[in-house]
Structure 1
Amino acid sequence: MVYIDIPFQFDFGTNLHFSGNFYANTDCLFLDTGDNNFGNNVKLGPRVQIYTVNHPVDPTERLEKGLAIAYPVMIGDNVWIGGGSIINPGVVIGANTVIGSGSVVTRSLPSNVLAAGVPAKVIREV
């Protein structure tokens, strides 16, 4: 069962893929230019943001071409992402991982860890 509290914002909605049970607390935001892939039993706290789009760093390329580059995000089974966390484009979060509230996940994380901080770092195994 997929349950999403409102308000909830997304770009397209067609790039959201759920493997099973999923819960998103209120006020989450998904920029789903690229695929958002959610495993089974994923839980998101309030105001979690997941970004799958980025832009060129070079200002000339960014301004002249207006390119948006999509990078999928993959979230494994039994993941809990604490409220106010941000997941950046291209990140993979392994199964059974917990992300502490207010974290900014800039790189992929392995399975079975607790990660937190800005940027998020592995604190310990779970």
Structure 2
Amino acid sequence: MRTARITYRVCNGKSPIRQQPERNRHHGGMSSMKERMLAGEPYIAEGPEIMADLDRAARLSERFNTSSADDPQGRLAALRDLLGTLGEGTWIRPPLYCDYGRHIHIGPRSFVNFNAVFLDVAPITIGADVQIGPNVQLLTATHPVEPEARRAKWEAAQPITIGDNVWLGGGVIVLAGVTIGENTVVGAGAVVTRDLPPNVVAVGNPARPIRSVENAP
């Protein structure tokens, strides 16, 4: 496999990332694609480790998404098996779609409404008392802008962090590498391409703060 330099122009508007595949210091060879993925380096989604993790998440997601409303404990058990962390009193309404599941960490007393899409190639960290509306997408994955590298299936990811007591309205999209500060409200349909500070109301595409939460009507 060739190891050409790859340029990533991350969707959150931060500086382009230029990286080359590096040699594994311990083994003298190329790092596994899973190691590269977890390190936030360019990788290709192939190999037995990645495929096994994707299959695991697919099975557990199906178990959660098809669970009976008459069996809330079974539904909760499926969710705990799928996610990396599920805080006490947190609830997610199915269906939920994710890549790996175990890279999703949610604090206590949070709520996620129907049809969430959490692409957790990199960690997704959601704080306490967070409200997430229906059809929200948290997308840690990103791809090269160079057509040749993209055709060769290289990709990368950057983490997403949602602070305590944030409210994401229905249909909000949060892109790779974004942090949203505590108490912030993001209006329905907004596309969050850059970090948002704490204690603001933000709307639009791209999302921009329009007032503080103290001044909201």
* TM-score normalised by L of structure 2: 0.57
Bigger CA radius of gyration: 2
For 2:131 and 2:187, how far apart are their aligned partners in 1?
12
Query: Which residues of structure 2 form unaligned runs of 5+?
Result: 1-88
> Aligned partners of 2:183, 2:162: CA distance in 1, in Å?
10
Q: Could you tell me whether the CA contact under 8 Å between 2:90 and 2:107 is conserved in 1?
A: no
Aligned residues: CA RMSD = 0.7
- Correspondence for 1:87 among 147, 153, 174: 174
Q: How far, CA to CA, are the matches of 1:24 and 1:82 in structure 2?
A: 11
- Structure 1, unaligned runs of 5 or more: none
Q: Displaced runs of 4+ in structure 1, greater than 3 A?
A: none
Distance between the aligned counterparts of 1:121 and 1:57, measured in 2?
25
Q: 1:67 aligns with which of 120, 139, 154?
A: 154
Counterpart of 1:36 in structure 2 is: 124
SS in 1 for 2:206: coil
Instruction: Pick the structure with more strand per residue.
Output: 1
- What's the % identity of the aligned pairs? 46
3-state SS of 1:46 partner: coil
Q: Secondary structure at the match of 1:122?
A: strand
Shift of 1:19: 2.3
Distance 1:8 1:40 in 2: 19
Contact 2:187 2:204 in 1 (8 A): yes
* More helix per residue: 2
For the residue of structure 2 that corresponds to 1:9, the secondary structure is: strand
